[in-house]
Structure 1
Amino acid sequence: MRKSADVASVKADLLVVCLPGPPGDLTGAVADVDAALGGRVRAAVADGEIDGKAGAATRFHSGSALAAPRVAVVGVGEGSAEDWRSAGGGVASLTSRVATKVVAIVPPADAGTAEVGAFVEGLGTGVYRFDRFTTSSDAPAPPERLYVHSAAVRTADLKRADRVVDAVNGARDLSNTPANHLTPTDLADHAKALADGIAGLSVTVLGPSKLEKLGAGGLLGVARGSDEPARMIVMRYRPSSPARPGEVLGLVGKAVTFDTGGISIKPSNGMEEMKMDMGGGAAVIEATALIAALGLPVEIISVVPATENMPSGRAVKPGDVLTALNGKTIEVINTDAEGRLILADALTHAAREGATRLIDFATLTGAIVVALGEVYAGLFGSDDEWTRLVREAADSSGDLAWPMPLHARYAPLIASQVADLSNSSNKRQAGAVYAAQFLREFTEGVPWCHVDVAGTAMVSGKGTGFGVRLILAVAERLAEPAPL
């Protein structure tokens, strides 16, 4: 990071200056650029070509007027964090068309850590591409460096933003990786590798024999149809001085590394996207490592049940009864409602291992996609105060979540005639709600939130990393001492 600069002397392949929307008089760096370019920016504003809308980026060639050969004027809208993320994404779009090794931004004087950090996140996630299995590409390489010319932003703040980008993109990599290259065992190995060298973070992986001893019948039942053994990944972060001693944040993430639907098999069209049915688990793993790497004073236990859901002669069948880790019996009505079966065991395990607050993230129901689309995740909660905190964290992080109802009158939807519970209902109503109602049965009375990310974690056949920033925002709130 460089503390200050005259825009004319900034050396980069692309110089970025920012404009609010709607634009008023040009001031600061954007005014300096306009002067150097002979009023071209002002003329574009007058023509309506540049309107300051968040994420709208216009590129100018500077000739010899500036040290940087190209300049981007990007809109930051009303200046919210989400607007600044959009601005970063708009600049990322420009770099995808022309080779750009070095980007430099001269933000307005009133832009601080939050705004510039959000821009860095938007740029870093915007230039992401998953090309591990591509043997050749004509697309320009993403930028190698970003320089921020601002006296108001510290190097440490930029490093934090870089780490957030790495974690979000890491979760995207996991979701996008084909199932033959990311088995439950591979996912567990990844979690262990992430923990190496991070103080206070440890990983324990429970295999079939230990899961049998625990009585994790939900996870083992789903895994029965696959040749790949199930794994329960348990990550623990113990900071030396937690801000709230005795409080433990429990994170649970669904990780079905491939979901055929089992005996209740899915349609073949689009089934390849079911490699992303572990988006919740990916977010939990990456976010846990991120929080530990940042050294936040929040004790965490994260539990990620990982399995494939496959049809075979050993696979669980509709009508079978499984016994979950808490001893409750579950009639399997639909084998494609497998996520709630593995989460049941994981939630109970996290609570019994000391979690005092729980959040689970899961690509759980198509019903939530119908209800909320790809903008908001569904947020369910058993405790008003805890749900309010998670909702506020969602709003601030950009990983948006909309509150959904839970009520005792939904209980008949998870009733079974032969067991304590059923994993699905034959009534086509409130699908996301009764899935959450089912999960609540396994939370051991601990304040709990369920985040259904089926519409937000996998969009247009690609993993988004949704949940990483939300989890970080929750942890940052818990890193503050409890109010008196």
Structure 2
Amino acid sequence: MTDLAVTDRDLTKLKIDAAIIGTVSNDDELEFAPGADQIASDALREALTTAGATGAEGEVVKVATFGAIGVPVVIAVGLGDASDEYDDDTVRKAAGAAIRATKGMSHVAVTLPLVNGGDGVSLVQPVGEGVALGAYRFDAYKSEQPKASELPAKKASLLVGNARTAAVKNALARAVKISEAVAIARDFINTPPNDLYPDSFAQRAKAFATQAGIKVEILDERKLTTGAYGGILAVGGGSDRKPRLLRLSWAPTGVKRGTPTVALVGKGITFDSGGISLKPGPKMDLMKTDMSGAAAVIAATLLIAALELPIKVTATVPLAENLPSGSAYRPADVITHRGGKRSEILNTDAEGRVVLADAIARACEDHPDYLIETSTLTGAQVVALGDRTAGVMGSDEFRDRVVEAADRVGEAAWAMPLPKDVRDGMKSATADIANIGAGPGGMLAGGHYLKEFVEDDVQWAHIDIAGPSNNGGDAYGYVVKGGTGVPVRTILETVEDILAHG
């Protein structure tokens, strides 16, 4: 990723390859956003307009100045209609889009923290996140590493009023830590399943966690059998690469008495063929991303530790590979979950909820005050809400808090109900519950299944990220092609909200 710095030096006196500035549309006329004052001119506006700039949100136009002003290249990124104030995510997206126009450059300056006027401190974090995440690449498996001319700028200096204040330094440090955590999640998601399988995933997470001072526990198939984790064992039984349960515990000293505790749970299906209920061949390669919930939960826990938040958080992550074989679980099987509840399997491709049930049951044994679970749980989420908006279910009040947190950080989410009629369609003649519903509302059926394993006194939320976890199209804003790292930032925002307000 691009290295981040802050500066309060005159833009024209910096040794840079380009300046990234904001532009806006005012009555269909191109205008400069605040922050570009040192290089703004009618000539530059005319050059940008001639090159097609309109100020439309997300638009990126690059022009050479040929020595006419103090910077060699200007990269103008649109913020949309002129406004007195631009929200964090608009600026974050603009920074992400603009940084990808800096290929082959060494050092660029970014004026976007100043677009709302003032000293720019309030926008350092979102701009920093946008730059770092927009510049993300995953090249680990390329036989030839990319040339410098193919990579975004090595360094981006964010312009602020005073670069020496503690507030600015803290905002920059926070942007770096958040971006690094999201990048870890993206790396996990993008890693091919022949290298990222249950045990290797657990070991990679352990290495990160140990370095961060987080306690780690890994249960192998023998310990899973002893612990009666019937769902994880059933789903993972078809693969030669056996399942695991990963537990990460952040319990710092100095936590105030009465501070709520938080459980995190994330689905870690390292490859999902559907099992005996085999998926169609086209796009099955995308099922390497079926561990995106696990990636997000692991990364969020690492981030909470990196920020040294004074709150106890425990992540419980079931890891399995869902493959067909002579030892795979079958439709019509009845499995016994951790805690004794029994489930009738009607479709082995509804496996995520089956492993999550065990993980949620285990997490609730710790008696947390709040539980946040996230998973690529249902294709129905994509049908209902599209590729970019997560569906959130759970306890009504806490569900809404999570949705509000997602909105604050720019990770789109929508509150969804858990209707009784959908649960009625999951009744089983032979067990306590069936693993799929009888009719429409597949996303809601997934939420109902998970609800069965949450203790009554635990406030909980389930975030279905089947669509938002992966971007299969072109890059947009700070979201590049491949794993997105959603909802790492939502989890952090929610945990900090809990820490602040209980």
Measured against the shorter chain, the TM-score band is over 0.9
Question: Which residue of structure 2 lines up, in the alignment, with residue 395 of structure 1?
Answer: 407
Q: How far did residue 34 of structure 1 move?
A: 2.3
Q: Which residue matches 1:86?
A: 93
User: Which of 152, 155, 159 is equivalent to 1:142?
Assistant: 152
Identity percentage of aligned residues: 37
TM-score, normalised via structure 1 length: 0.93
Report the Cα distance in structure 1 between the residues aligned to 2:405 and 2:385, rounded to whole angstroms. Answer: 18
Q: Does 2:263 align with 1:250? A: yes
Paired residue secondary structure (1:94): coil
Q: In the alignment, which residue of structure 1 is the partner of 2:440?
A: 429
Aligned to 1:441: 452
1:179 to 193, 207, 213: 193
- Give the letter for the 1:81 counterpart: D
What is the distance in 1 between the residues matched to 2:268 and 2:274? 14
How far apart, in 2, do the equivalents of 1:25 and 1:208 lie?
Answer: 62
SS in 1 for 2:193: coil
User: CA separation of 1:26/1:123 partners in 2, compared to 1, >3 Å: closer, same or farther?
Assistant: closer
Q: In structure 1, which of residues 64, 67, 71 is the aligned counterpart of residue 74 of structure 2?
A: 71
**Unaligned runs of at least 5 residues, structure 2:** 473-480
User: Pick from 147, 167, 181: which aligns with 1:167?
Assistant: 181
Alpha carbons 1:58, 1:72 under 8 Å: kept? yes
CA distance in 2 between counterparts of 1:419 and 1:176 reads: 37
One of 7, 10, 15 as aligned partner of 1:11: 15
- CA displacement, residues 161-195 of structure 1 (integer Å, 9 cap, x when unaligned): 11111111211111111101111111111211112
SS of the equivalent of 1:30 reads coil
The change in CA–CA distance for 1:380 and 1:28 in structure 2 (over 3 A counts) is closer
Secondary structure, aligned partner of 1:258: strand
Gaps of 5+ in 1: none
Pairing partner for 1:105 from 84, 102, 110: 110
CA distance in 1, matches of 2:89, 2:211: 33
How far 1:44 moved relative to its partner?
A: 5.2
Q: 1:194 to 1:27 in 2, by over 3 A?
A: closer
Structure 1 Cα separation of the partners of residues 128 and 191 of structure 2: 25
Structure 2 distance, partners of 1:289, 1:336, is 30
Measure the CA separation in 2 of the matches of 1:266 and 1:169.
Answer: 29
Note closer, same or farther for the CA distance 1:27–1:178 as it changes in structure 2 (3 Å cut): closer
The C-alpha deviation readout for 1:32-53, integer Å capped at 9, x for no partner, is 2124xxx233325777943333
Residues 293-346 of structure 1: per-residue CA shift (max 9 Å, x gap) = 011122101111001001111100110110001211111100000000000011
Residues 336-355 of structure 1 correspond to what in structure 2 (within 5 A)? 336-355=349-368
CA contact (8 A) 2:11 2:109 kept: no
Please point out which of 63, 68, 81 is paired with 1:60.
63
2:499 corresponding residue in structure 1? 479
Tell me the number of residue pairs that the alignment of Structure 1 and Structure 2 aligns.
474
SS in 1 for 2:500: coil
Say whether residues 1:368 and 2:381 are aligned partners: yes
Change (3 A) 1:90 1:2: closer
What corresponds to 2:426 in structure 1? 414
> CA RMSD of the aligned region, Å?
2.0
1:130-188, Cα deviation, whole Å (9 max, x unpaired): 11111134661232212122135612211211111111121111111110111111111
Residues 66 and 403 (structure 1), Cα distance of their counterparts in 2 relative to 1, 3 Å cut: same
Partner of 1:288: 301
Contact kept, 8 Å, 1:12 with 1:67, in 2: the verdict is no
**Which residue, 455, 458, 468 being the options, matches 1:456?**
468
- Measure the CA separation in 2 of the matches of 1:337 and 1:31: 56
TM-score (norm 2): 0.90
Q: Where does residue 39 of structure 2 map in the other structure?
A: 33
Whole-Å separation in 2 of the counterparts to 1:125 and 1:397: 14
Alpha-carbon contact 1:226-1:315 (below 8 Å) kept: yes
Residue 307 of structure 1 aligns to a residue in which SS?
A: strand
Q: 1:271 aligned to 277, 284, 291, which one?
A: 284
- Inter-CA distance 24–99: structure 2 relative to 1 (3 Å threshold): closer
Q: Which amino acid aligns with 1:117?
A: Q
Aligned match of 1:237: 250
CA distance in 1: counterparts of 2:467 and 2:36, whole angstroms: 38
